[in-house]
Amino acid sequence: MRGKRSDGRAIVRGVSFEVAPHAKLGIVGESGSGKSLTTLSVLQLLPPQLAVLDGQIEYAGEDLMKVSSERLREVRGGEIAMVYQDPMRSLNPLLRIGYQIVETLRAHGVESEPAHKRTEQVLRQVGLTDTARVSEAYPHQLSGGMLQRVMIAMALAPSPKVLIADEPTTALDVTIQQQILDLVADIQAETGMAVVWVTHDLGVVAQLVDSVAVMYAGRIVELAPTRSIFTHPSHPYTAALLGSLPHPDAEHRGHLQQIGGSPPDPLQLEAGCPFRARCPYAIDRCAEEEPGLQPRGEGQVAACWREPELWQS
């Protein structure tokens, strides 16, 4: 898949991944790497100045790029649901919580009485047991953690097959963040839905997903099982992200490693590997030709010309 601006210049290029029922995929990378644009394109929710240039978005045997607008409305929220980073910007501040969840269900053909019963059920499912108070509350009357649970409840209400979570824990404190992670993991285990978790934090995906897609400058530079990503990363950028994490065995806080330089503008990429200016292992070929995803064994691929053992030693 490639995404573009209205002037025709590509921002996201050659992104390809799949997630099966019961599976959990993490998409990681620095801000501006194209993670959110990739997930927004799945349901064609891109801003007006952006569009998908080419490619396919397949769901249950259908190409969502070719389905009717009516079918796309059925899929949005009903079969593929999204949870966003900032619930205060996603919820209507003038409407009560219960009404917003009920209306989500009504939009997908659920009658009023079953919709109210399902609303109470999903609020309990996400740990909001005082369902009457929560349903009658306005968004500003709930805490950040409660609002994020409401967003998850709203996404789960129509019983989707796929849940896309776009950095839903970024603004939460560590304790609440862990509660949300545990909640999503429990619900996924219970329902068997596929989960796509978007984040800039590799520490989050370590405990949550089965496989990881690492994005940089609008493309996937590594795709691998989660264990492989952490034990032997095959792209220098992935290794640099891991190096910037605090080590759990550290007796005291030391200096964290930094990735030198800044990510390039995806609209002004030069020839060669986009990461080469920040990569300590770059060779002449890196400036001449952009690498495709190279197989590294055991389901792992990486967009790097150099074999990992040449720069891991």
Question: Average pLDDT of the chain?
Answer: 88
According to the model, what pLDDT value does residue 108 have? Answer: 92
**Domain map (residue ranges) of the chain:** 2-234
pLDDT class of 226 with cuts at 50, 70, 90? very high
According to the model, what pLDDT value does residue 266 have? Answer: 83
Q: Is the whole model's pTM more than 0.85, yes or no?
A: yes
According to the model, what pLDDT value does residue 168 have? Answer: 83
pLDDT in tens, 235-293: 999 999 988 777 666 555 566 677 888 888 888 888 999 999 999 899 999 999 999 99
Contact 11, 34 (CB under 8 A): yes
Q: For residues 6 and 99, what is the distance between their CA atoms, to the nearest angstrom?
A: 37
* Residue 69, token pair as written in the block: 């607008």
For 2-234, CATH number out of 3.40.50.12780, 3.40.50.720, 3.40.50.300, 3.40.50.1370 equals 3.40.50.300
According to the model, what pLDDT value does residue 256 have? Answer: 66
According to the model, what pLDDT value does residue 255 have? Answer: 66
pLDDT in tens, 29-87: 988 899 999 999 999 998 888 888 888 999 989 999 999 999 999 999 999 999 987 77
Q: Which residues in 156-179 are b (16+ Cβ under 10 Å) and which e? A: bbbebbbbbbbbbbebbeeebbeb
Angle (nearest 5°) at CA 309 between 307 and 313: 140
According to the model, what pLDDT value does residue 206 have? Answer: 84
Angle (nearest 5°) at CA 178 between 176 and 180: 70
Burial of 286 (0-12, 13-18, 19+ CB in 10 A): buried
- Kindly give, in sequence order, each residue whose CB lies less than 8 Å from that of residue 206, ignoring residues fewer than 6 positions away: 226, 230
Q: For residues 81 and 160, what is the distance between their CA atoms, to the nearest angstrom?
A: 6
Q: In sequence order, what E strands does the chain have?
A: 2-5, 10-12, 24-28, 50-54, 58-59, 62-63, 80-83, 162-166, 194-199, 211-216, 219-225, 294-297, 300-302
| Number of Cβ atoms within 10 Å of the Cβ of 189 | 11
